[in-house]
Structure 1
């Protein structure tokens, strides 16, 4: 094994060791505690497959890992939507009515966030659940900081509109 490959593998191992707990919490908040360990495993596998691209700076390596985790979450969400559509088609084909989710009284914050455009919801979750700065979010999403700032402000406006003046989202 070459010295370059050894150094790269060591950087990735260190980045994974230092960030695994935070990655797991990030994933738990997005896919649930039951699916989070599998999502973390998928994140680590993807990181090892892309090990040649691991940044040398530890902060950049952290954001790179969170970018991979976000892609795992997006894949998971697509799979959930496919399963949900399949379940709906099955219910319709056998004549079973879908559950009535509208029976819940009022909107809570989680429901309001889920109703946001996924790109806006990701920024809100990253700031308020994960404690990332807008600059860090821009790095792990691979977007200009101005785009992340505008998404954050747009998401806050939409949430304030949905939730009314009862919830103060501005930090």
Structure 2
């Protein structure tokens, strides 16, 4: 149990060293709320130890700054700190939602399945594999004009199949 004199000494200690202690902790943490919590906890610990209140001004100041620094270090090392992330960090580090891309690929694959095998092969070769018309012609042993024709009609059929599935352009 503390004496009323201890409360007065603690109040005077906070008045003399509190602002500098807050600036110091704010500099260490870069977090105003955490800095205020650390300063309050430091003062509580000083209040719990009457011997600190009886020290000379320089000794009390050194003790307060040491305790505050140790509290900041303990907080940084805590398991809570390693698991918790503030909202701003979460927002910045959020991974883009890929569900639209997955649904689009399912729609396109479904629409491709409706094409004839001849049309599907040249469309996939040209647009997914990146082959040119002469390369497709050589790969499938068909004339270049046939490749162009199949691409034209295949893309037209693909567009219609996608429109039937609700994809519009």
TM range (shorter): 0.3 to 0.5
> What TM-score do you get using the length of structure 1 for normalisation?
0.42
> What TM-score do you get using the length of structure 2 for normalisation?
0.42
Q: Report the structure number with the largest CA radius of gyration.
A: 2
Relative contact order (C-alpha < 8 Å, sep 6+): which is higher? 1
